[in-house]
């Protein structure tokens, strides 16, 4: 998979880019967990999300936020990281000008950043938020949430409490014009540690959801 370096707001950003042969393939960016708690683009969940999208026909980019790996800059409380995500999407779109579908997927802190990116980028047609930390971050900016998407979490998540995820989903479902789907993986912790019982069902659920959405007319 090609390593790429592209321009971010604070210098170079390091990524992995996985194109399809079709020039009009849908595109997706994948956002990693918290940089100060060991989150990188090579996190196991992020890596699996990347391939989950590529396997169903997406051209995919994942990257390291500022200050992680070979990406320049330093941690910026989520503000700069949102700008990094916007720069990554710009880069991906410039390489794929014929793509008709644009998705964002994030895990944990990356889910929070991804849902903020939705608010800035009306061209995003769908999102996947894995274990969004609704107990740690304010998601009230999603008013209204501009795109339909999937929120997925484990019932045994001790980092992002399921009750807070339920409250976030309930709030988003009050909004008109979008559909927020919610799936839970029974017994899974924050990192979906068990491959057969937790990781595989999570990835399969996401792929089925995204494929179904791609088959529907655009919003």
pLDDT value for 91: 98
Cis peptide before 144 (omega within 30 of 0): yes
State how far the Cα of 136 lies from the Cα of 171, in Å rounded to an integer: 16
State how far the Cα of 104 lies from the Cα of 27, in Å rounded to an integer: 9
pLDDT band at 1 (very low <50, low <70, confident <90, very high): low
Query: Which pair of structure tokens corresponds to residue 123?
Result: 């061209």
Question: For 113, left (φ over 0), alpha (ψ -120 to 50), or beta?
Answer: alpha
Instruction: Tell me the whole-structure pTM to 2 decimals.
Output: 0.97
**Cα 211 → chain centroid:** 16
Taken as a whole, the chain contains a residue count of: 219
**For 46-90, what is each residue's pLDDT tens digit?**
999 999 999 999 999 999 999 999 999 999 999 999 999 999 999
**For 140-172, what is each residue's pLDDT tens digit?**
999 899 999 999 999 999 999 999 999 999 999
Which residues are CB-contacts of 108 (< 8 A; sequence separation ≥ 6)?
33, 34, 39, 45, 130, 131, 132, 133, 159, 160, 190
Mean pLDDT computed over every residue of the chain? 96
Q: Which of 96, 86, 33 is closest to 59 using CA atoms?
A: 96
**For 22-49, what is each residue's pLDDT tens digit?**
999 999 999 999 999 999 999 999 999 9
> Is residue 125 within 8 Å of residue 102, measured between CB atoms?
yes
């Amino acid at each position: 998979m090609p390593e790429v370096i592209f321009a971010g707001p604070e210098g170079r950003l390091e990524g992995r880019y996985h194109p399809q042969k079709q020039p009009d393939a849908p595109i997706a960016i994948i956002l990693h967990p918290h940089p100060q708690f060991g989150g990188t683009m090579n996190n196991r969940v992020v890596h699996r999300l990347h391939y989950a999208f590529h396997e169903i026909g997406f051209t995919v980019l994942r990257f390291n936020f500022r200050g992680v790996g070979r990406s320049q800059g330093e941690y910026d409380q989520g503000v700069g990281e949102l700008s990094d995500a916007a720069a990554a999407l710009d880069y991906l779109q410039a390489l794929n000008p014929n793509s008709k579908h644009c998705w964002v997927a994030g895990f944990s802190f990356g889910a929070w950043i991804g849902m903020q990116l939705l608010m800035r980028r009306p061209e995003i047609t769908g999102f996947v938020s894995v274990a969004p930390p609704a107990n740690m971050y304010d998601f009230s900016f999603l008013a209204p949430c501009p795109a339909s998407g999937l929120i997925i979490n484990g019932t045994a998540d001790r980092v992002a409490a399921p009750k807070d995820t339920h409250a976030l989903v309930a709030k988003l479902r009050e909004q008109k014009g979008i559909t927020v789907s919610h799936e839970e993986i029974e017994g899974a912790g924050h990192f979906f540690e068990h491959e057969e019982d937790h990781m595989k069902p999570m990835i399969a659920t996401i792929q089925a959801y995204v494929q179904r959405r791609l088959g529907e007319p655009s919003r």
